[in-house]
């Protein structure tokens, strides 16, 4: 435990700083601030010996185990009743947006020669729920932290751009307030970024945006489970332990969704779980951000940048089509 404590304390302190930044600038989502702070810390040469030395065990636990616990608690935000209230057309088009973006981004990543698991991780982040999905998929396929760093940076960059770009296109595209909320929920990556973008159109738009976004979050479980099953099949001829058929944290996420749907949980419990989930994800995303090296990204990551920006345009375009169909 002593080995873990320094890194955990730093990650928790960074999450607190990110929260204070969010309070000072509400337009900046807390989790986005956490990733950004980690990226900034990771670029300071004087801090790298500490990041790769005494802080490394605690940061590694934050980026992996705390991330998985946070994803389980994220399930308590979802209710199948709220999702069903969207209607079958909206649900079907939202699922289609996720699947088409996921498949299309993997194809782009492979076409541009992204290494290792990067095509899969970029596709997960852009199609499902941002950096949380990258961490979940990375855990399922046992991707290295270094493989997750570039996708996390890309989804943070594009999600932050969405906060400025989508509102600028709201009226030129002729969308009503509720339609704008639907577009944001279907096309923006992280839940916090969805809230920051949709709230400018009012409470009705925000409500629709959050429910549509949480419908995309619900896709995390089947997408991760299917991918883990494929990886398990590929690992038959590879030495070492095979990935679980359904990762334990995915089963926990589904159990939390069902619990929140069918059991009347007290508000204090849901509020406490939401606070804890946000804190754990903030710590995890700071740790992932701290592993990013922008110098290496600038010299070798232009292909990943092209894939990320193209995927961002793809999901926004497909989401707009879903709004028109709805």
Q: Please answer whether residues 210 and 185 qualify as being in contact, where contact means their C-beta atoms are separated by less than 8 angstroms.
A: yes
Q: How far apart are CA 193 and CA 30, in angstroms?
A: 9
Q: How far apart are CA 125 and CA 155, in angstroms?
A: 6
Domain boundaries, the chain: 4-325
Q: Please answer whether residues 159 and 134 qualify as being in contact, where contact means their C-beta atoms are separated by less than 8 angstroms.
A: no
- From the list 41, 249, 238, the residue with the least C-alpha distance to 138 is 249
Q: Please answer whether residues 281 and 275 qualify as being in contact, where contact means their C-beta atoms are separated by less than 8 angstroms.
A: no
Q: How far apart are CA 302 and CA 5, in angstroms?
A: 36
Q: Look at residue 300 in the predicted model and tell me its pLDDT.
A: 57
The token duo for 163 is 């906060």
Q: Look at residue 246 in the predicted model and tell me its pLDDT.
A: 62
For residue 174, give the 3-state DSSP assignment: coil
Tens digit of each residue's pLDDT, the chain (326 residues): 788 999 999 999 999 999 999 999 887 888 888 988 998 998 899 998 999 899 999 999 998 889 889 888 988 988 899 889 889 999 999 999 999 999 999 999 999 989 889 999 999 999 998 888 898 898 888 888 778 888 888 888 888 888 889 999 999 999 999 999 999 999 998 888 888 889 888 888 988 999 999 899 889 888 988 888 887 776 555 455 555 556 778 788 889 999 999 999 999 999 999 999 999 989 988 998 888 777 766 665 688 889 999 999 999 999 999 999 87
Q: Look at residue 280 in the predicted model and tell me its pLDDT.
A: 93
Q: Look at residue 285 in the predicted model and tell me its pLDDT.
A: 86
Q: How far apart are CA 172 and CA 321, in angstroms?
A: 15
**Phi, psi (5° rounding) for residue 323?**
-65, -45
Q: Look at residue 75 in the predicted model and tell me its pLDDT.
A: 87
Q: How far apart are CA 1 and CA 55, in angstroms?
A: 12
Q: Look at residue 306 in the predicted model and tell me its pLDDT.
A: 92
- From the list 57, 18, 54, the residue with the least C-alpha distance to 39 is 18
The token duo for 292 is 């990013």
Q: Please answer whether residues 67 and 132 qualify as being in contact, where contact means their C-beta atoms are separated by less than 8 angstroms.
A: yes
- Cβ-based neighbours of 181, under 8 Å, separated by 6 or more: 198, 201, 204, 205, 206, 207, 208, 209, 212
Q: Please answer whether residues 232 and 245 qualify as being in contact, where contact means their C-beta atoms are separated by less than 8 angstroms.
A: yes
Q: How many CA atoms lie less than 13 Å away from 274 in the CB half-sphere?
A: 12
**Phi, psi (5° rounding) for residue 241?**
-65, 145
Q: How many CA atoms lie less than 13 Å away from 165 in the CB half-sphere?
A: 13
Q: Look at residue 245 in the predicted model and tell me its pLDDT.
A: 59
Q: Look at residue 78 in the predicted model and tell me its pLDDT.
A: 84
DSSP string, 243-271: PPSS-HHHHHHHHHHHHHHHS---HHHHH
């Amino acid at each position: 435990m002593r080995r873990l404590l320094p890194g955990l304390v730093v990650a928790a302190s960074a999450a607190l700083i990110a929260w204070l930044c969010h309070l000072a600038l509400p337009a900046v989502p807390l989790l986005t601030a956490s990733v950004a702070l980690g990226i900034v810390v990771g670029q300071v040469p004087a801090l790298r010996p500490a990041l790769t030395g005494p802080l490394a065990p605690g940061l590694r636990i934050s980026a992996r185990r705390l991330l998985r616990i946070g994803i389980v608690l994220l399930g308590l935000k979802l209710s199948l009743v709220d999702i069903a209230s969207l209607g079958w057309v909206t649900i079907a088009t939202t699922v289609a947006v996720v699947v088409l973006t996921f498949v299309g981004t993997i194809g782009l990543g492979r076409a541009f020669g992204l290494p290792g698991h990067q095509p899969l991780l970029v596709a997960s982040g852009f199609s499902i729920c941002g950096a949380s999905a990258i961490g979940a998929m990375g855990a399922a396929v046992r991707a290295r932290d270094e493989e997750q760093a570039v996708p996390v940076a890309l989804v943070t960059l594009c999600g932050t751009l969405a906060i400025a770009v989508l509102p600028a296109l709201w009226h030129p595209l002729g969308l009503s307030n509720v339609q704008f909320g639907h577009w944001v929920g279907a096309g923006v990556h992280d839940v916090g970024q969805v809230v920051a973008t949709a709230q400018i159109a009012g409470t009705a738009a925000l409500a629709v945006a959050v429910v549509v976004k949480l419908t995309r979050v619900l896709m995390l479980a089947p997408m991760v489970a299917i991918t883990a099953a494929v990886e398990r099949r590929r690992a038959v001829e590879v030495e070492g332990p095979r990935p679980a058929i359904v990762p334990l944290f995915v089963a926990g996420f589904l159990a939390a969704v069902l619990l929140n749907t069918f059991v009347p949980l007290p508000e204090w419990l849901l509020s406490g779980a939401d606070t804890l989930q946000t804190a754990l994800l903030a710590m995890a995303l700071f740790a992932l951000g701290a592993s990013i090296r922008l110098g290496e990204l600038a010299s070798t990551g232009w292909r990943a940048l092209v894939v990320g920006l193209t995927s961002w345009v793809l999901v926004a375009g497909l989401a707009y089509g879903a709004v028109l169909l709805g």
